[in-house]
Structure 1
């Protein structure tokens, strides 16, 4: 792992095949299990994508411990957002939202652009973590119609989301678009919906002795952030987008599917919050009093902040994916970036396997529509 960037360029597959199959028996603390997951996630994606053509078979040296570790952490055996971002950083101080104090543990390329790309998400998560108990309190306050608590929480949520958006905009500071698109992004891809990138059947997880199975798993993406889904849930934003053009009625939305790619406790927490209802249910009631109007206004402002955040995400995608995709590949391995650049911008594929631009725009529009509530005062 210390030499991963060099091995990715020349020899990662040979190096992995010389490893012995390790057992997870000595892993004790959750930190150790997560560390193993990060290492195996990076090694698996480096092995699959670190060549002139993608590798369809993941060897037992990675597969056997990866399956064991993933089962313990209740998360799929692939490089998820948790592996690349949440569990892959160090901090020289105590403020995880301060980018100057953060550093990555592992990257594929060893570049500043890759570290910065991963760490911006870490800072965003840390910036907003404190709002979670406040919004849980607001959901409880919905039951007892405590408007003061709810309005205050919504105002804090808006400020919080604006702060997260400001951090997202800092991506431009130290992450070069061409480096991201052609050198970094390909390694974040999964094996689902990756036919055009060279994995028509996904990846075969070889457990040795004739055992194993083909798996098609999504790649790591910010869509797997539990935080952003938390914002959606408390505000009552409903997503119906499947993320691809083959969606059929009754199919799970992409936002629902990616919960399977979150750490087990995170996914269960979101399920718990979903059962509590949302603030929108109260905001939709006829506004008969001044406090109800204040609630609607605060609610609308919060949803608008989340919509602006998604607008900024689309702008990031335009700069880091759409524009580079129109420029010629610098050469090298055939991968997600190569295959995406051969399509129109409306068919660009995200690392999570979605049809990127339409998916992001519809998610934004669904967020915007949630806050569109008419302010009308009805005489009692």
Structure 2
């Protein structure tokens, strides 16, 4: 069989072009909405939410956010009138929820909240189900649906210097800029998304010139992304990001070290009103664990990975990029989906994307054969050593330029994580944080605990509703004769466990139990998504580099 690409062998009848708008993707703004996000929900019914958001930063600064949220009524989401209103509802509920959980506001004795009141959890879960993503802060909430155009008459309305945020946790310029860098990337990459679909048509038509032009357009978008990422340093200070902003973006998965060993309970959801303290294990199973906001949640980078055939593998494992034989085999299987990327974290992050965007990635993987096409067209050995005027060589160079730009972007991302997270965590704050007094750091007799519960209301009363922010001490911590119970294990990181007694939620409020803290040289610094951030990013970067042809 000839090494040359044989267009006659393709099963072209199974190809159906993708339409971006079918997936709630804007041809002009990419994964952002085509129009500006809604600034206020139209029905006065939702004024309790809007009134809190009117003074959100003031409430958070004054330690009033939990008090205000507890006073909110449980509102029904049926009065939301459009996709844009559901997006706004999800966004503002996300800000309120994470402010409630993490909003200690410098109060040393105030732990992270281990439950969300029904006034947030019920409508938040409902809007999340409508938008088909997880109820937790995500890239869509803080970047895709949290922007405004400052001057609609500007030459480029979506230029980063013409954008503002609607909300931040800290009220700082640094946090706004952190979000806007991603928002501007999404808008600038609409050109690249259109080019991906054009390249797929070029492959179908065996049109080398069209594929090459599309690859050059993808490269243009990737250069824009690189330039925007470099601008992060302009207006987002690493100290402010790590010590004042980052914790609010964290989720409740792998966050035992930050005060949430079990996750968070969503009151009024998953039958949280029917448990009893006599059945602790049943209660534990009702906690929800979600990763926090992460760059891995933007569908943009995963779309470029799929388009360029960049494969990622489980962290710590090595894999191989496709060969010429693999490419030939896959090009014969039109309409057969590409197996999802083997890195389970990246696959899971799609659950934090709106449903349409997630489906786009899945459908794109089933039809995109750009790398396979370049491999087969450029498989002759003589094309590797020269002949720069050959259209096939030019196409390969255009493809490799895209891969190089993806690697460059990931190099820059690693540098930012190193400067904004690792360096801050290793060096510690410039101003010492107050000592956190543990709520309970010793084993107490059950009788004494029950007496304390009778005298002072706790978060949970047997057979009752949620009433506070933290759980009572874990019943498994009381002296017991069950030797097996004393040897329980709990997860401490992704894929790892530690054979020690599980600490109670109350005990998790011990000194330095928060995400933003100084760590020693041997400690793992986790991203807000709960991963070992630097190890994950370095492997993703190296896998990208190995994709060159």
Q: Could you tell me the TM-score, scaled by structure 1's length?
A: 0.91
Unaligned runs of 5+ in 2: 1-52, 105-109, 276-282, 318-340, 384-389, 437-512
- TM-score by length of structure 2 reads 0.64
Decide whether the 8 Å contact of 1:96 with 1:126 is kept in 2.
Answer: no
CA distance in 1, matches of 2:417, 2:303: 22
**Which residue does the alignment assign to 2:41?**
none
The 2-side partners of 1:368 and 1:319 are apart by 22
Q: Give the distance between the partners of 1:326 and 1:7, measured in 2 at CA.
A: 31
Partner residue of 1:311?
Answer: 411
After TM superposition, list the pairs within 5 Å mapping 1:260-275 onto structure 2: 260-275=351-366
The whole-number CA distance in structure 2 between the counterparts of 1:302 and 1:314 is: 19
Counterparts of 1:198-209 in structure 2, within 5 Å, are 198-207=259-268, 209=273
Q: Provide the secondary structure at the position in 2 that maps to 1:25.
A: helix
Does the CA-based 8 Å contact 2:525-2:532 persist in structure 1?
yes
Instruction: Encode CA deviations 1:199-244: one digit per residue, 9 max, x unaligned.
Output: 1111111116438931100101111111111110000001113599
Distance 2:138 2:214 in 1: 31
Matched, 1:47 2:100: yes
Aligned alpha-carbon RMSD (Å)? 2.0
Q: CA deviation at 1:343?
A: 4.7
> 2:287 & 2:84 partners in 1: Cα distance?
29
CA distance in 2, matches of 1:91, 1:346: 42
In structure 1, runs of 5+ residues without a counterpart are: 245-249, 374-380
| Shift, 1:2, TM fit | 2.2
The one of 534, 544, 547 equivalent to 1:357 is 534
Question: Relative to structure 1, is the Cα distance of residues 251 and 301 closer, same or farther in structure 2, using a 3 angstrom cutoff?
Answer: closer
- Maintained 8 Å contact 2:255/2:263: yes
Deviations 1:144-196 (A, max 9, x none): 22110111111121121011110111111111110000000000000111111
Q: Name the structure with the higher helix share.
A: 1
The aligned residue for residue 216 of structure 1 is: 289
Q: Does the 8 Å contact 2:169/2:248 carry over to 1?
A: yes
Would you say how many aligned residue pairs link Structure 1 and Structure 2? Answer: 365
Task: Supply the distance in 2 between the matched residues of 1:219 and 1:305 (Cα, whole angstroms).
Answer: 27
- Corresponding position: 1:301 with 2:401: yes
Structure 2 counterparts to residues 1-380 of structure 1, below 5 A: 1-9=53-61, 10-51=63-104, 52-94=110-152, 95=156, 97-207=158-268, 209-210=273-274, 213-242=286-315, 253-285=344-376, 286-288=378-380, 290-329=390-429, 330=431, 331=433, 334-338=513-517, 341-344=518-521, 347-371=524-548, 373=549
SS in structure 2 at match of 1:336 = coil
